[in-house]
Amino acid sequence: LPTRAGSSLEPEEHSMEPPAVPEEEMPLTAVPGPAGCQLFGYVGIEAVLDQMKIKTMKTGFEFNIMVVGQSGLGKSTMVNTLFKSKVSRKASQPSQEERIPKTVQLQSVTHVIEEKGVKMKLTVTDTPGFGDQINNENCWDPIIKYINEQYERYLREEILITRKRKIPDTRVHGCVYFVPPTGHWLRPLDLEFMRRLSKIVNVVPVIAKADTLTLEERAEFKQRIQEDLKTHAISVYPQEDFDQDPDDRVLNDRIREKIPFAVVGADQEHQVNGKRVLGRKTKWGIIEVENPAHCEFPLLRDLLIRSHLQDLKDITHNVHYESYRVRRLNESNGP
């Protein structure tokens, strides 16, 4: 009889030789090797990382971000501060007179920005008119419609018989939601927006213009927001359900303790101790945007760009877009 997996490989005394099987009929089975097989010399497997880097630098990548909040909360300034360039809607159309629209309008601006040879096609989507009316009922509907339209556009390209080699990606990878610095609890509008949008996109809440609050007020407001999110079962990014391993969970737990980030935006430089720093000048001093002791803008930048940018894209593709795709295909295949 053939030996079972895990049994001794030494032949028994009375074992019979199995009949020879012709070479063509031999089953092709993979023999599992020991985990973490040790190499006897340099093979060059690590070179695949260089290949991926070179390919990414040649083709570039796409990142789409949406900013949502009432007028006057510093959304455009924050986006410009985030990417250290004039990428916001207002910066692209400076001559346009700013009026509060009667309904929520979505306007996207696309730029190609380059740093150290890496190209990024950045699309910033603004939502002027959100939360500015007396009656804000269903003001999130145009935003939900826009996000789903981008999923639909990607799905239509994907199910074509002859597909493009690289499908243009206009899906929203992250939505930064600006909470007004009231110092109280979240408003019903904030709760309803985040409850609905967190199911279809990565929502990152931030406390806008945090320099209008004292440090004690800021800490209390942040704690109240965290309690509100927990009470209403709103899962903002980074979501606990999508942590891949213990290391990710430890890192993301530290981020979740800080959310929502209390941020201050500024697009002007000032002289501080002989150095040029981005900040806001007040009669009490200069609020340095990139100083963690002054505000949490560096944490937001690290989350969106330096540490979790690829994760935002992966969750958008593997979770939010996937659930939309399954729903749409079920609808089309249904009776």
pLDDT tens digits, 130-186? 988 888 889 999 999 999 999 999 999 999 999 888 899 999 999 999 999 988 889
What would the pLDDT profile of 197-249 be if each residue is shown by its tens digit? 999 999 999 999 998 888 899 999 999 999 999 999 999 999 988 888 888 89
Q: Indicate the angle between helix axes 141-158 and 188-197, nearest 10 degrees.
A: 10
Question: Does 223 reside within a domain?
Answer: yes
Q: Give the pair of three-digit tokens for residue 164.
A: 């493009």
Question: Does 85 reside within a domain?
Answer: no
Question: Does 92 reside within a domain?
Answer: no
26: pLDDT strictly greater than 80: no
Instruction: Determine the structural domain holding residue 323 and report its residue range.
Output: 137-164+177-333
Q: What is the pLDDT of residue 36?
A: 67
pTM: 0.83
Question: Does 328 reside within a domain?
Answer: yes
Question: Does 321 reside within a domain?
Answer: yes
Residue type, 129: G
31: pLDDT strictly greater than 70: no
Q: What is the CATH number of the domain that holds 233?
A: 3.40.50.300
Question: Does 231 reside within a domain?
Answer: yes
Beta strand ranges found along the chain (DSSP E):
61-68, 107-115, 118-126, 174-179, 203-207, 261-262, 269-272, 275-282, 285-288
What would the pLDDT profile of 279-321 be if each residue is shown by its tens digit? 888 888 888 888 888 889 999 999 999 999 999 999 999 999 9
Q: Three-state SS for 194?
A: helix
Strand partners, 262: 207
Question: Does 267 reside within a domain?
Answer: yes
Is the four-CA dihedral 26, 32, 38, 44 of positive or negative sign?
positive
Question: Does 247 reside within a domain?
Answer: yes
Number of domains within the chain: 1
